[in-house]
Amino acid sequence: MFATLAEYERELINERVRFGVIGAQASTVQLGKRPVDPGNVKMNVVAASNLLVNGKAAQQAADAVGRSRATMYRYLK
């Protein structure tokens, strides 16, 4: 009996979420992550590369450009 009620409640939640997403899209709300500015990324890569060449640690270079160390390495590839 409880399983049936839980399943019904889950269906209601899914339905509400779907209607919410449709409503948000209709009112031109942007869903998801913001797009990354390629010019800003290129500037950060150059700055991080210069810091690494000048002997700074990877974490210090990442902190200086405002990214995580993993993201910095991904952009440097």
The per-residue pLDDT for 68 is 92
Spans of all domains in the chain: 1-32, 38-76
The per-residue pLDDT for 16 is 96
Tens of pLDDT, residues 29-44 = 888 888 888 888 899 9
pTM above 0.85, yes or no: no
Residue ranges of the chain with per-residue pLDDT less than 50: none
Q: b/e per residue, 22-57, with b = 16+ CB within 10 A?
A: eeeeeeeeeeeeeeeeeeeeeebbeebeebbeeeee
